[in-house]
Amino acid sequence: MSPGRRRLVRIRRWLLEHDYRPSFTVLYISLALILSMAISMFWLVAVVAAHGVLEYWAMGRTGPNDLRLGRTLWHIRLDILLVLAALWLGLYIDLLFGVAGLGAAARTGAQVSARVIAWQRAIRGALLTVDEAALAAKAAFGGKGGGAPKARTRRSEPPPWRQAWSWADRLIVATTAILAVLILLTPVLTDHSLTEALAILADDLHPWP
């Protein structure tokens, strides 16, 4: 086998076993943290979407083919929760600071407004750190008991959402549903109109703000 062919085989194997590769975890965490914190939330969504595409492709070669999209979304449910939490924070940050007695002060000048933005980034960074720590723990302990799954070995396995849920599964699904509802109800629960809420989301998801 030629060196180029061997390199392609190694790359393909790395992609198929990415969940069990510390190098992937480090790369994923670095991209999610650096790009989203330094540029915008758009890049966090892009990184999560890229992970979803990679997982969908890998699942077609190492796991069940039925309900692949649903299985993929379940696999990246923690990432989806992170994205929704970050978007919710952008929509509700004024309300949160208002509850803390800082809402009016946040609109008194550029210095305080900059401070609010800094707090928003800090809170988002904390959310990102918690999520990425969970991903790192999954990579560290998820591969125990046999390593990466072998190709075509779990064709009859039922979808994971039909299996017994752990407390973490319940927490993730419940929190995701709550955040989705809160985002949809932003015009009702906050001072933002529908147009203002959409403008905030568009600003947060702009690739080059």
Per-position DSSP letters for 1-40, written without gaps between them = --HHHHHHHHHHHHHHTGGG-HHHHHHHHHHHHHHHHHT-
3-state SS assignment for residue 64: coil
- In this predicted structure, what is the pLDDT of residue 186? 95
**pTM of structure:** 0.78
Give every residue of the chain whose pLDDT is below 50, as ranges: 103-112, 143-147, 151-153
As a whole number of angstroms, the distance between CA 26 and CA 181 comes to 32
Question: How many other C-beta atoms lie within 10 A of the C-beta of residue 56?
Answer: 16
- In this predicted structure, what is the pLDDT of residue 145? 40
The residue to which tokens 């992937």 are assigned: 24
Q: What is the DSSP letter of 76?
A: T
Q: What is the DSSP letter of 149?
A: P
